[in-house]
Structure 1
Amino acid sequence: MSMTQCLLFIILGLMGYFAYFIRKRLNYWQDRGIPCDQPSYLLGNLVGMQTTRTMAEIALSTYNKFKGTGPFCGFYWFHRPTVFVLDTSLAKAILIKDFNKFTDRGFYTNPDDDPLSGHLFSLDGHKWRAMRNKLSPTFTSGKMKQMFPTVTRAATELVNVVSEVLKDGSTLEVRDFLGRYTTDVIGSCAFGIDCNSLKNPNEPFRQMGKRVFTDQRHNILGFAFIILFPKLSRRLHIKITPEHITEFYMRIVRENIEYRETNGIKRNDFFDMLLELKNNKMLKTADAQPMANITVEEMAAQAFLFLAAGFETSSTTMGFALYELAQHEDMQQRVREEVCEVLERHNGEFTYECMGEMVYLNQVISETLRKHTIVPMLTRECSEDYEVAGHPKYYINKGMFVIVPAVGIHLDDDYYPTPEEFNPDNFTPEKVAERDSIEWLPFGDGPRNCVGLRFGLMQTRVGLGYLLKNFRFGVSEKTQIPIKYNKKTFLSMAEGDIYLRVEKVSK
């Protein structure tokens, strides 16, 4: 047999084994008798991702199709067999009760080669616990009060800029203004720079912040490889953050560290708290155990997460809230009256305490986060074999990926009557008290919920409060009804612009 024939047999053998391997993986749930959709050989059950379907649509269609068939159904994340949770009691067990078996999110991270990927959201195991212990004290109500003036200054500037633009017409694209507002807040709090993108939309920090969500290092096949072979990807030193983004944010962090330490600058913001974590010689956990200081790279990763998690999610939530209130003028007027009444009780000043008194505004925000679920899926990875209580057929193997479809729960009429309608009364204090916390998941739940939820809600409440006090919003001929969602992003974001009619409220 010639060398050519030997090589041909080897290649054919490898191709045959690979085809067998893929076929076996894509029959995992069928062989176990667990309901699931037939997967495609390339994308599994993610068919249409980034082309014809949003991630929310993929999750919602699976949830609606298989709900009631069992505590979970089968799903294929590319070629990876995945548990798709259908029952809120199982979701609660995974996120809260049995959290110790589902601590990790299962996302790829490679901080040695890609420092910005080593942030709290993606870290696993001990590294996650250690970083969470370090960061949790930076998001207490006391720390929020220290950063509150920065948020109100940005909100005041937002009102000024919108007022100036209104002189040129009454129909405005609101997404850009809201994104510039949250950029200015987070640029100041997380990176210590006063970028003032509200007055200068082309400011580099603003432009690079937008590119974080649009520039990708890999195409869909590259991401599939990383998801399927994370250990191999780390050995191959594969990065996920584009190089220009890493260089930009690492430079800002290093320059800011040098400037603050050289000049003794203290601003009581998130960056100050990261500096304390870097410079303290001995940090203590809640149970008085020592923990190591964080490195400059870890500082940059957490500041980067603050930007990625707080800039787009908060501005998107505010945009959807204004979009809904523009179509429900009675609700909008009720919020406006509440804001004015609360401010009057505080001598016209928007204080930190005002936010808790604006009950209906908070209901509007909660309902917005329900109807427009920004993060449609929560993910976990099983760390040890797990049997679902009362369902011996339904067990989850160690290392298996798990999806909790927040969007399915939020749009389930078993939990929210007429879920397609915008109804802030879904979140009256009485209804919230009656509802299980697992039925509202915009920030996750349990020990691994969003560590920055207080900050995110604060900048959202303040921004909406200032806008609704000063402006009236309505639909125009350019308003997109119904709203369409961007298919290119994992987050549920509007596709294109959100145009609304805006006019000043007469004093």
Structure 2
Amino acid sequence: MELMHRALLTALGALSVFYALVKISLGYWKRRGILHEKPKFLWGNIKGVVGGKRHAQDALLDIYATYKGRAPFVGFYACLKPFILVLDLKLVHQIIFTDAGHFTSRGLYSNSGGEPLSANLLQLDGNKWRTLHAKSAEVFTTTNMQKLLPRLAQISTRIQSDLGKMDQQTCNISELVGAYNVDVMASMAFGLGGQDHQEFAKWSSRYWANFKLWQAYLALEFPLIAQLLRYKSYAEPAMAYFQKVALSQLQEQRRKDRQPLQTFLQLYSNADQPLGDAEIAAQAFGFLLAGLGPLNATLGFCLYELARHPELQDRARREIKKTLDRHGGQVTPEFLRDLRFTKQVLNETLRLHTPHPFLLRRATKEFELPGSVFVIARGNNVLIPTAAIHRDPEIYPEPERFDPDRFEEEAKLSRPQASFLPFGDGLRGCIAARFAEQQLLVGLVALLKEHRYAPCAETTVPMAYDNRRLLLAPKSDIKLSVEWKD
């Protein structure tokens, strides 16, 4: 009886301590005297997000719409973790550009000792990131991206082959664009040649097979404990496969003399400040981690919108055909620059269906907002709600309407700075943004130049997003009717 009594007292004591810690965590913004959204016990301000009942972008949009105009930023909680949600575009510009030196960290979990491929530009912070970023800047130049274009155009021809089997049939667009983007990743990030990429595709869909949101959250909150417990973010068999492929391809390319430039492995290993092979392998995985899902989603969303707006689709197809004729049917940098309306279509897709609904930064120094009493403390996690900004009716009237003319030059100049951030920007923006845009445009040309798309019985209207993912993706595969159209 006495033992049960002690156990009960111990349990009650532990619960009391836990309750007190939760209340202390959820009182951070109140103690700071910062305007904030009142949190719910345990869930903070993201109730429904963890369980998949609503998407993270919707939760952030609600907070943004409620508090915009009342302060430059507002406090909120992701479960027990306090975040700053930026509301003012001038502050967004300061964080990304003018005062980026105060916000060089993302605060993501990385364990390069236990998971060597996590030592990539996306996940690293501090001096390791600065050194790696400086060396990588030499790789991602405009000239180098143009040199890779012929290989990218060659890979895109598979789309035509696949579409040739689907005339006037229902087409799984998600699978079609996924095959193209996997080919690009396998060939250009990992150096795999013309061989079948089936195994690469398999592991590309499985490296997060054991992902659990609560474990990832604890790793972010307590990184030192996570490293001591040897927490792994990714499935070990997938990591072993990707590392083996990258290292073997690096060795293979060194055995070949004067081969044409076709991969990022070559660019990294031939740089003036070359990385070690293990570091290059980590950057190849970073491509996959940061790019594959968003690129798949963006091309799928783009075709979905064009199928629902046939007049815009016809306009884009006419531009592609006329521009190809002017350039002798060749996909060149000049050809891509001339695709003005097609690029507007792509940008409007990125605005309406923003693949990265938010940008994450962590203050590495205390930052006092100029001309105000507001201070972002060192260590504060800062979140820029890109999807909410892209759907702000004061910036983009009728934000739910798909309108590529929003990205005509005059319209772009009329909007404030930092109002369009699909790839982030500044010091910690996507270093491969030029290549990502090039990959999307080349894919779109291959998809549209000889085929036309329309909604079918299996098309989901309106679009439904997968609430289980932090990045934006359709809830189910996008399916459209496709027909050959010269």
Distance change (3 Å), C-alpha of 1:80 and 1:264:
same
Q: What CA distance in whole angstroms lies between the structure 2 residues aligned with 1:365 and 1:419? A: 16
Shift of 1:9: 6.2
Deviates more, 1:436-445 or 1:225-234: 225-234
Does the Cα contact within 8 Å between 1:184 and 1:194 map onto a contact in 2? no
Question: 1:3 Cα deviation (Å)?
Answer: 9.5
**Counterpart in 2 of 1:370?**
351
- Report the 3-state secondary structure (helix = DSSP H, G, I; strand = E; otherwise coil) of the residue aligned with 1:246: helix
How far did residue 474 of structure 1 move? 1.0
- Following the alignment from structure 2 to structure 1, what is the Cα–Cα distance between the partners of residues 326 and 215? 56
Q: Is the 8 A contact 2:89 2:416 kept in 1?
A: no
Give the count of matched residue pairs. 483
8 A contact 1:187–1:195 mirrored in 2: no
For 1:480 and 1:265, locate their aligned partners in 2 and report how far apart those are by CA, in whole Å: 49
The answer to whether the 8 Å contact 1:373/1:442 transfers is yes
1:243 aligns with 2:254: no
Please name the residue that 2:30 is paired with.
30
Q: Distance in 2 between matches of 1:406 and 1:216?
A: 28
Alignment CA distance shift 1:3-1:388 (3 Å): farther
Contact 1:117 1:241 in 2 (8 A): no
Identity of aligned pairs, percent? Answer: 33
Task: Select the residue among 455, 458, 464 that pairs with 1:484.
Answer: 464
Higher mean Cα deviation, 21-30 or 359-368? 21-30
Q: Indicate the residue corresponding to 1:97 in structure 2.
A: 98
Partner residue in 2 for 1:262: 255
Structure 2 match to 1:120: 121
Bigger CA drift: 171-180 or 152-161?
Answer: 152-161
* Range with greater deviation from structure 2 (488-497 or 63-72): 63-72
Are the equivalent residues in 1 in contact too, given 2:22–2:42 (CA < 8 A)?
no
Deviations 1:329-364 (A, max 9, x none): 111111111111111111222222100001000100
Matched, 1:442 2:441: no
Choose from 379, 397, 414 the match for 2:360. 379
| CA distance, structure 2, for counterparts of residue 26 and residue 423 of structure 1 | 41
Question: What displacement does 1:304 show?
Answer: 0.5
What displacement does 1:30 show?
2.8
Deviation at residue 85 of structure 1 after TM alignment:
0.8
Name the TM-score, length of structure 1 as normaliser.
Answer: 0.90
Alignment RMSD: 2.1
Choose the corresponding residue for 2:206, options 203, 208, 211.
211
* Worse-superposed segment, 423-432 or 22-31: 22-31
Tell me what 2:180 maps to: 181
Moved more, 64-73 or 324-333: 64-73
Distance across 1 between alignment mates of 2:361 and 2:303: 32
Is contact 2:354–2:472 with CA below 8 Å preserved after alignment? yes
Question: Which of 419, 436, 441 matches 1:461?
Answer: 441
| Corresponding residue number in structure 1 for 2:43 | 43
2:268 is aligned with 1:274? yes
Unmatched segments (≥5 aa) in structure 1: 284-292
Aligned AA (1:396): I
**CA apart distance, 1:18:** 3.2
1:95: Cα distance to partner? 1.2
Give, in whole Å, the separation in 2 of the partners of 1:403 and 1:164. 45
Change (3 A) 1:142 1:356: same
| TM-score (norm. length: structure 2) | 0.94
More deviation in 313-322 or 231-240?
231-240
CA distance, structure 1, for counterparts of residue 311 and residue 214 of structure 2: 48
Stretches of structure 2 that go unaligned for 5 or more consecutive residues are: none
Deviation (angstroms), 1:14: 4.8
1:223 is matched with which residue: 216, 221, 232? 216
Q: Does the CA contact (< 8 Å) of 1:326 and 1:474 recur in 2? A: yes
Distance 2:485 2:397 in 1: 34
Say yes or no: does 1:191 pair with 2:190: yes
Deviations 1:261-312 (A, max 9, x none): 23447441201122235xx6xx3xxxxxxxxx53332111100111222322
Contact 1:78/1:224 (8 A) holds in 2: no
Q: Map residues 31-430 of structure 1 onto 2, 5 A cutoff.
A: 31-50=31-50, 51-166=52-167, 169-194=168-193, 203-212=198-207, 214-217=208-211, 219-264=212-257, 266-268=259-261, 269-277=263-271, 283=273, 293-392=274-373, 394-430=374-410
240-249 vs 374-383, greater mean Cα deviation: 240-249
